[in-house]
Amino acid sequence: MTELTEVPGVGSVAAKQLKNAYITTAELLAVQNADELNNKVTLGEGTCTNIILAARELLGMFAFKSALEVEKENESKPRLKIGLENVDRQLLGGLEIGSLVEFYGKASGGKTQMCAHLAIRCQLPFDEGGIEGRVIWLDSESSFKTSILRANAKRWGLDPEVALGNIQTMPIVTSYHLEQLFARIPQMCIEQGIKMVVVDSLTGFFRAEHGGLGSLAVRQQRINRLLNLMRRVAMATDVMFVYSNQAISRIGPFPVLNAPVGGHIVSHASDYRFMSTEGKSGKRKLYLKDHAGLANFNVEFSIGWGGFYNDENERKKIEPKIVEYLKSKDISAEIQEKDKKKETKKVKKAEKTKKTKKSKKAEAKAETEVKLEAEVVLKAEG
C-alpha cells in the first residue's frame, strides 16, 4: 500500500484529516467520491477533487490498459477455492479476489454454512486454495456459531484456536449500525490483513426498517450506497465481500417462490450470485445464477460437521474424526447424530418396504400356483 503523503497535494495536515476519516492509504483515497470526501474533511471541494485525481494518477489504477494486459493481471491473481471439485472446476479455479459474492435462498438453504466454509478456507495458504487472509464477520441474524467454524478449521487442517482468532466479529443491531461500521472497515482491512468481509445478512434490517412501498425508494438507495462502497473498497484492497441475502415469495400471475430480496439494485452489484437450497436427503444444492464470464450451473453436495463435502463417501470418511474432536471440546454433535438416526430410519423403512413387496409377490405367486393346481385337478376329475 502507498502512503498518503506520496500523493501530490497531500501534506501532513491533509493526511491527518484523511486518516481521521479512515482513509489511510493512497489506494483508499483513489476510490473516494469527491462530494462524500468533502463532507468528511475540511480541505475544500476543489482540493478533494484534485488529491483524488492525483492519487489515481500516481497509482495508475484507473488508466487505460489493453485487454491482453488485463488478462495477464487476472491470471496472476490468486483465487479462493471453495474446496468442492465440481464447483471449483466450473468457477475456473475458484472465486476471484476483490469480488462481491452473494448467496441467497430460503431458510436452511446453507447460506450461513457457506459463509463459515469460506471464512475458514480464506485463511489457508495459497498453495492449498486459500488467500492467506483474516476475516471480518458482521452478524445481523445472530447466526455466528464458533462450533461450526471450529469444525471447519479442523476439517481443513488449521489450528482451530488460531483460525477463530483470525476472525473478528460484531453483532449488528440496525442497518444504520452496519453503515457506520463500513466507514471503518477499509482501514481495518489494510491494517489487520483482512482479505474477506462477511455480512450475514445484508438485507434483513433494511427490510425490517423500511416496510411498505412508501419507503422502498429510500431502502433501495441505502442498499445501493452500501454495495457501491463495497465495490470501491474491493477495488482498492482486493478484499472479497461475501454476503447472504434473504428470499421472498412473489404472489401473482407468475409466482416466484424463491426470489432474492433487493430487486435489480442487489442483482447488479454482485460478481458471483449464487442460490443455495436444500437438496435431496439433507444435501445442499448450489446454483450459479449470474456471473459475467461463466455459464450458469448447479451442483449438489453433502453437508455435515466440517462444512461441505463432495459426496457422502467423503463425509462419512472425514466427519467422525471431526465429531470426536468436537466432543473432546464438550461441543455436542447431537444434530449430526439425529441426522444419522433419520438416515437409519429411512434405510429400515426402505428395507421393510422391500420385504413387503417380496412378500406380496410370493403370496401372489403361491396363489397363482394354487389356482393352476386346482384347474389341473378339475380337468383330471372331468
- pLDDT for position 335: 44
Compute φ and ψ for 270, nearest 5 degrees.
-80, 145
Q: Which residues, including other chains, have CB under 8 Å from residue 276's CB and lie 6 or more apart?
A: 103, 104, 105, 109, 110, 111, 114, 284, 285, 286, 287
Mean pLDDT by 10 residues, the chain (382 residues): 94 95 95 94 95 95 91 93 96 96 92 96 97 96 94 96 97 94 93 95 90 88 95 95 89 73 92 92 91 95 94 93 92 58 59 69 67 56 52
| C-beta separation of 244 from 201 below 8 A | yes
The pLDDT, as a whole number, for residue 20 is 94
Question: Which three cell numbers mark 249?
Answer: 415469495
The DSSP-derived string for 320-338 is HHHHHHHHHTT---HHHHH
**pTM value?**
0.84
Residue 227 to residue 202: CA distance in whole angstroms: 10
Residue 361: the pLDDT is: 72
For residue 2, with 0-12 CB atoms within 10 Å meaning exposed, 13-18 middle and 19 or more buried, which class applies? Answer: middle
Cα-only R_g, the chain: 28
User: How confident is the model at residue 377, as a pLDDT?
Assistant: 45
Please give the pLDDT value at position 163.
Answer: 97
Helical residues (DSSP H) of the chain, grouped into ranges: 12-20, 26-30, 34-40, 45-59, 67-76, 85-90, 111-121, 146-155, 160-165, 175-182, 185-192, 204-209, 216-237, 263-269, 312-328, 334-381
Q: Are 206 and 223 contacting, i.e. CB atoms less than 8 angstroms apart?
A: yes
